[in-house]
Structure formats: C-alpha cells, structure tokens
Structure 1
Amino acid sequence: SSGATPATFSIQETTGVMAHVDNNQVIINPPDASRDKHLLTMTIQELALQGKHNLYNSMAAGIATRILEVRKDIIRECLSDFQNIEHRLELVNEVYGISFINDSKATNVNSTWYALESMSKPVVWIAGGVDKGNDYSQIKDMVKDKVKAIICLGKDNKKLHEAFGDVIEHMVDADNMRDAVYAAYKMGEKGDAVLLSPACASFDLFEDYEDRGRQFKESVRNL
C-alpha cells in the first residue's frame, strides 16, 4: 500500500466525496474539516471551461489546490479565468447576443459529441470537411437535442445531409469559411451559439485545423 488517501469527486453523489455538484453549485470541501469548515462554492456557469468533461477537470483541480492549502479566492479566480487552448471550445466573440465558439480541433465524432454536450444554448452547428469514416449515428440524438441548424462546410456534404436531414430541418452548404459564418449568423438569433466543431479533418478547404480555426475567428470579427 502506498498510504495515499484518495480524494474523490462526483457530479451525482453528495456524500463521502470531497467535491460534488448540488443545485448547479460546485462544492469543494476542505481537506480537513476540523481545521477549516469553509466550503468553496461556485456556480457551474462561473467556471471558465464549460461541459461535463471540463466540470470533472475543474473539480479535480479545485481539490488538488485545496489540499495544497491555496487560498479560496485564488482557486476561484483561477477556475473562472482559466484561458482555454486555442481551437478547443474557444469563445471567440458575441455578436448581437449570438456566441461564436471555435472548436476546430474537433476532427472526429467523439470530440464533437463533447462539444455539443457542453452547449447550454440552441446551436447553429458548422460541421464537415474530410470525413474519416465517421459514424454520425453516435451523435444523432445529441444533434437532435441541441442543434437548430447545420452549416455543412466542405466540398462533399452528402454524408452530413444523409445523417441529419431527417432530424434537422435547416441545413445549408458552404464551400468557404466566410460564407459559412455569415450563414450561421443569419440563421442564429439572440441567445444562440454558433459552434464550429467539424467532426472532420480540414484538408479539403484548409491547410489544417489551425488554419480553419483562424479563418473562423477572422470571419466572426468581420461580421
């Protein structure tokens, strides 16, 4: 035995764990309740990184820093101000109440599932590119639940239309980023999110996923 004491966390259980979620609040207990009875609490919306997977990451980071006796105000500031990596669920801008999110790094269905799962607003989804044998049935229920319109960005968008045409009424084709972003902007309304999470490689229209992400950001700024 290493003698290590596990520090557990859960988004469902509330007892026997060091961090949990209750009524939209992240609650991180002190490592030694006898010395420090003060809980660290934050709303989920205050966390810089959104989505269930990032909620787990934030809770783990919060536990580690509490064990190291970092001050609560510093932990709270770090969890709310953390700068995400470029092209990974990166909030680019908000234009007339529409959020534009760059997740160009999502080059497969699994990554896009996590992106869609993290969305709390109706989504205009920009998807497509070089398909790597995608099985879109894996995200069809998520798309039906979260997405209001799809902008198909690629040279060949047939597979996207076949996969989602029966659950998404509004689907538009685009062959360049400027047109894709403008179409998404016109289809969105205040309170929506435009999400670039292609689920595909980028090599049909772009140099790489970074070029695709940069063009997305430039097009958003030019709206």
Structure 2
Amino acid sequence: MLFVREGRREDPTDVALFVRTSEEVLEGWDRQKIVDALLRETYIDLDTAQQISREVEEAIRRSGITVVTAPLIRELVNARLVERGLEKARRQHTRLGMPLYDVEQLIVHPNKENANVPHGPEATNLTLAESIKKEYALLAVFSQEVADAHLRGDIHIHDLGFIDRPYCSGQSLEYIKKFGLNLPNAISIAKPAKHSEVLLAHMVKFAAALQSHFAGAIGWDAVNIF
C-alpha cells in the first residue's frame, strides 16, 4: 500500500511517497522497486523497466489520490507493458488473486460448486488457495493454447486447483503391517500393529496423513485378503 504526503511547495517533485509493504512496514517510496520486480519477474531490459517505473511514478503523483495499493501499482505497470505490446511480460508480471467482492461472497455464502465441502473458515481457506493455484496453472504450467482450450470448454483439466498434487493413490495394507506408522514429517509414529483394531487405526491415520498430498481419494487395495 502506498501513502502520498504532499510537500510544502507546488513543485510536483516535492512529494514524499511512502509504501506499506506486505510485511506491514512503512518504507519510503523507491521506484527502483518497480525496476527490480520487472527485471526479476520478466524478460524486459533495464532501460524499458526504468522508463516504465518513471511513467508509473509520474502517474501516481499526478493522480492526486492519497492511498495507492500494491495491486494498483502492479496494474499501472501492467498497463504500460500492454501499451508496449509486451503481453508475455504482462502475463509474467500479473498478480494472482480474487476481487474483494468475490472473497466476501465466498466467506458469507456456502460453496454451491462442491456440496462435499462444508461451509466454514477452513473451507474458505481451501477455496481461496485453490483459486490462486488455478490461475497459476493456467498462466505458468500449461501453454496458452491449452489454457484457452480449457476456458472455452473444448477440453477439461481436472483439479486445476491441486496442480501440485497427484490425483489419487491406492495403498497396500502390507506396508503399515510391516512398518507401522513412520511417514516423513508425520505427527503420529507407531510400531507395527499387533491387533486388528490397532491396524485399523493405523489405516485411518495413514490415509489422513497422505490426503493432504493428493487431490483425490486415498484407497486401500485388497483389505479383505490381507
């Protein structure tokens, strides 16, 4: 978030700008931050990045507004990229997220797309994260042709919001019978079960531990055989 404090003189260069960072720290305005972001996130050259940063700074100073948010600054930069025909750079520099109205509707109203997800704070957290990962997948993982085909409905890419997970997994009971509960970074660790009810509890905990790593179901193969 950017704060603008007017100086005493009429000269438009005599304006102190302050930036509220994502870490909630108030810093002095530095257009070099725009240059650094463009060089870090896109392929454009230094001269173009510096020119864009000056144009954005001047637009902010001329606007007369007192508070400028980080998303707005990024939009102003992206507008300059589009004006120069740098669409690929604009895509690389874009900001992922949801509009304020959509977030409010998501928090207030139940999810009608998935009846299996109960409405609550944890569900809205999941939906918000899934929305950002969908955007990321369509912008950075798949080609524009594939992304456009999905958006047109020509094809369907399932579980885009879980782009960093395998779909589902089938487990063998023999593994936990032999090794017990011993997954990396798992909270619950136990030796192999000696009784059937303990083995059943191990199955439940094992499946719960794996669920956060897969988009779909965690299944067990041939439980009635073992």
The TM-score bracket by the shorter chain reads under 0.3
Task: Determine which structure has greater relative contact order: mean sequence separation of CA pairs < 8 Å that are 6+ residues apart, divided by chain length.
Answer: 1
Structure showing the higher strand proportion among its residues: 1
Structure showing the higher helix proportion among its residues: 2
Q: Provide the TM-score with structure 1 as the length reference.
A: 0.25
Q: Provide the TM-score with structure 2 as the length reference.
A: 0.24
Whichever of the two has the greater Rg, that structure is: 2
